Structure 1
Amino acid sequence: MRLRDGTDTGAAAPGGRERLFAGEYAAPFAAFTALTVLTALSGLAVVPTLPVAVRALDGLWLYPLVASAFVAAGLVGGVIGGAWSDRSGPGRPLAAGLALAVATLVVSGTAGTVWQLAAGRFLDGVAAGMIVVATNAAIAQTFPDRLRPRALALLSAAWVGPSLIGPPLAGLVVSWWSWRWVFLGLAALMVLPGLAVIASLGRLPRRDAPAGAESPGLVVALAVSVGAGLGQYALSGRSAVHLACGMAALLVLAAFVRRMVPPGTWRAAPGLPATVLLNGLASGTFFTLEAMVPLLLNLDGSVAPAVAGLAFTGSAVAWALSSWAQSRWLAGRPRHLLVAGGAVLLALATGGAAIATATGLPAWIPASALVVAAVGMGATAPTLTVLSLGHAPSGRTGYAGSAMQTSQNLGQIGILALASALLGTAVSAASAGSVARFGPALGVLVVPSLAIVILAARARSTRAS
């Protein structure tokens, strides 16, 4: 049972099993669910709108920057949200993140230039980073260990609805009215639910960070964010400018990123460092597969766009169902084994996709691998989050969440860069055999997947769940 001060006594609730939908946990869980749906709908609806908005503002040349600004800014938001959560509790950074998210949607929706749109996307990334990290800190404060896997699984399921309705709804709004109404409409929709969420989460207890606790500075976070942005821009072309941006990104990240993650992360030291590293490897592997599949299908041409979309719908549903299943039926298993099992599925999916493309099998086979990979991520991702909260130093769940956010973003950029380099000329090739060139790019994703399997034991929980 959980005491009023947040202490977990390790006992079950009187009269039976503790539940998320009843008693003291019902209201905060409803607030977390509403928050997840709002942020998911906002993020998923905006992405397909960006190309239209950039074209309307005569800024196609700046599209890579606009597209990458959100992810890069998430590093800054994660540091702000983590430090703020540790200092004064997660309620305030959550409220600030929601308010900033609404404001940035207005900034983007009223953009008169592509630079204003880029600024809006950057600030929206800051808001998203604050919300994600502060939400994880709030979950750690609100729920005992035994309920966290189930809470995270159900919050993963809350993404399914927005993933199904967000992009097509945004497309209809763009077609019938204007791309601006996607941003402005989302801002209007978020106001009242956002106020309700803020009121509910405002009752979360304040937690003071331990004396002497240090968090990554804002200057360091900004430097890493700039490095991440340069790295993403470098992936969009092969000119001398893109090469220079890539080199600059490597230098900046090499100099500053070690201060954004726990000591020992790069050597997978047991506990939080290994958990942070595995999170980056898993996220980067799945994100890269998710980025490669639509390009592969577009080059192949044998799969209709509507059918191709089923792969992404299927992956969203598979992720949610897998997350729910592991929290319900595998809750008693050692969590590092769930991480390893999910990574095995990632390896099978990426390896199967690589073999299918290299041997000329139909394109729907590598597309279906995305669904298999999503099953693996449904087991791995929420389990790593639970492990990170368990490994976090006392009063520093915000710091742990910030490190996880950093590894997620950098893992996506780094592994995508490696796969893109191996992809070579497949982007510009239009011949029938061009799809086979995806083999090495997809095959390399097996390496981080197997690394997770090998290193999973280092993320082992040190206390009973």
Structure 2
Amino acid sequence: MAADPAPGRPEVTEGLFSRKYAAATSIFAAVMFLTGLAALAVVPTLPTAARALDGVSLYPLVAGCFVAASLLGGVLGGHWADRAGAHRPLAAGMVLAVVTLLVSGASTSIWQLAAGRFLDGLAAGMVAVAINTAIGQTYPGHVRPRALALMSTCWIIPSLVGPPLAGLVAEWWTWRAVFYGLAALTLVPALVVVALLRSSSWSATPTPSGETASRPALLVATAVSLGAALGQYGVSGWDPRHLLFTVGGLALLVVFAPRLLPPGTWRAVRGLPATVLLCGLGSGVFFTLEAFVPLLLVTERGVPPVGIGLAFTGAALAWAASSWVQGHLLNHWPRHRLVVTGALVLAGAVAVAIVGTVPAMSAFVAASAMVVAAVGMGLFAPSLTVLSLSHSPAGRQGYASSAMQTNQNLGQISVLGAASGVFNAFLSIGWGEPAGYGAAFGLLLVPCAVAVLYAVRVRAPE
């Protein structure tokens, strides 16, 4: 590990650091870029793939598998990195990412696609945590913030260009080519990462204390991911078998999910618990819109994949613009009021989506719901992040950030599962897909209302 800069000679140490770690930083940035591209580019093609594989009813399972597995992958990657160093989970995650893209691209059934997405989420969670851990284990302290900031910016371009490019490939060729192309792009960096991290200079000393501390969290995360998967499958149908899976999944979530969250989260206790709860609710609404609106556009409006990709790009731009506005032009507003405003905009997006289910309406109406929702999240999410840190005791900001990320994933899984159950219930009684979409979207007004009602409980301390 490089030594800290010598007093009075920072530029010399900085130069030595740059030469020694430039290759690793470039590889890590390429890995994060491709991880973001793989995570975001395939999303617009999933509705097309689900329809081609005759698995529209199981589409929410495909969409939710990635989120459920990324939660488990993050905990698994952190546990492995603490026990044996970050090089092993990072190399394993990269190899698994290539394999899972090939599995998804070769899907002959919706179940194979769901399995591929689950393994892809597992790989993405492992890679993200392993890279952050590798930077923490091997980079000098004064450079770590810049390195971590660079890793975050590597997701910006994929969010803008990945969805429309993937849509073009799916429209001009086939949705399978998106997965195969991403696998080919990821293969070379994966091999380089494996070769680079075999070097002993990038291997960290195992930390037995970290291993002991993280094992319970690993078991809890496994139970939560399993519960989420069982629940997502259970709500895909209405019969005794599906009901049994739903009950089993809910039981696992009820028992184990609270162990990953601050006490009182589900009761919206004032302060950090309420902040964490609202984070999950808002993320769940947005993620469900991102899952169901593209499915509506494909199955009911016949929108090509490139159109779906452009909707995702528009949402990414809207989120970025809204986030900039709240951080600059509205910075003097109390944060809990920005949370209320964001939740109301999310409710407006839900209303637009409901109107978009009317067969006479243009596809543009439904697609615009994603952009409006992104505006709301640009106000909602950063404000809650700031509030979570203000509610955190000194030295516990990491715990607050982890809780926010965990409940964001849980909220996405839970709200999507509830909306999927309503959607499939309407299909099972023969009311048709437009009514099912409308009912699923209508359900999203409930978490929006809860967020508005409890926003006062997240007010920053005086």
Q: TM-score, normalised by structure 1?
A: 0.71
Return the alpha-carbon distance in structure 2 between the equivalents of residues 213 and 119 of structure 1. Answer: 30
* Match in the other structure for 2:438: 439
Amino acid at match of 2:123: A
| 1:187 is the counterpart of 2:183 | no
Shift of 1:350: 1.1
Change in 2 beyond 3 A, CA 1:94/1:449: farther
* Match in the other structure for 1:44: 40
The within-5 A match list for 1:52-67 is none
| Structure 1 unaligned spans of 5+ | 6-25
The within-5 A match list for 1:239-258 is 239-258=239-258
* Match in the other structure for 2:14: none
* Match in the other structure for 1:79: 75
Change in 2 beyond 3 A, CA 1:414/1:131: same
CA contact (8 A) 1:82 1:399 kept: no
1:64-112 deviation per Cα after TM superposition (whole angstroms, max 9, x unaligned): 7666543222221233456678x79xx9659834651333323552789
* Match in the other structure for 2:457: 458
- Equivalent position to 1:103, from 76, 81, 96: 96
Change in 2 beyond 3 A, CA 1:187/1:153: closer
Return the alpha-carbon distance in structure 2 between the equivalents of residues 434 and 57 of structure 1. Answer: 18
Return the alpha-carbon distance in structure 2 between the equivalents of residues 406 and 151 of structure 1. Answer: 20
1:158-187 deviation per Cα after TM superposition (whole angstroms, max 9, x unaligned): 622323334434666757x95773353132
Change in 2 beyond 3 A, CA 1:298/1:383: same
Return the alpha-carbon distance in structure 1 between the equivalents of residues 459 and 88 of structure 2. Answer: 33
CA contact (8 A) 2:340 2:455 kept: yes
How many residue pairs align between the two structures?
A: 435
CA contact (8 A) 1:283 1:412 kept: yes
Return the alpha-carbon distance in structure 1 between the equivalents of residues 335 and 290 of structure 2. Answer: 25
- Equivalent position to 1:124, from 114, 120, 123: 120
CA contact (8 A) 1:45 1:169 kept: no
Q: TM-score, normalised by structure 2?
A: 0.71
Return the alpha-carbon distance in structure 2 between the equivalents of residues 52 and 437 of structure 1. Answer: 19
* Match in the other structure for 1:15: none
* Match in the other structure for 2:277: 277
* Match in the other structure for 2:233: 233
Shift of 1:222: 0.9
| 1:379 is the counterpart of 2:375 | no
Shift of 1:237: 2.8
CA contact (8 A) 1:173 1:179 kept: no
CA contact (8 A) 2:86 2:133 kept: no
CA-based RMSD: 5.2
- SS for the counterpart of 1:236 is coil
Worse overlay, 233-242 or 253-262: 233-242
Amino acid at match of 2:447: P
* Match in the other structure for 2:354: 354
Amino acid at match of 1:220: V
Change in 2 beyond 3 A, CA 1:112/1:448: closer
Amino acid at match of 1:103: L
* Match in the other structure for 1:17: none
Worse overlay, 416-425 or 296-305: 296-305
Change in 2 beyond 3 A, CA 1:127/1:150: closer
Return the alpha-carbon distance in structure 2 between the equivalents of residues 263 and 83 of structure 1. Answer: 23
| Structure 2 unaligned spans of 5+ | 6-21
* Identity rate, percent: 47
CA contact (8 A) 1:349 1:370 kept: yes
Shift of 1:28: 12
CA contact (8 A) 2:423 2:436 kept: yes
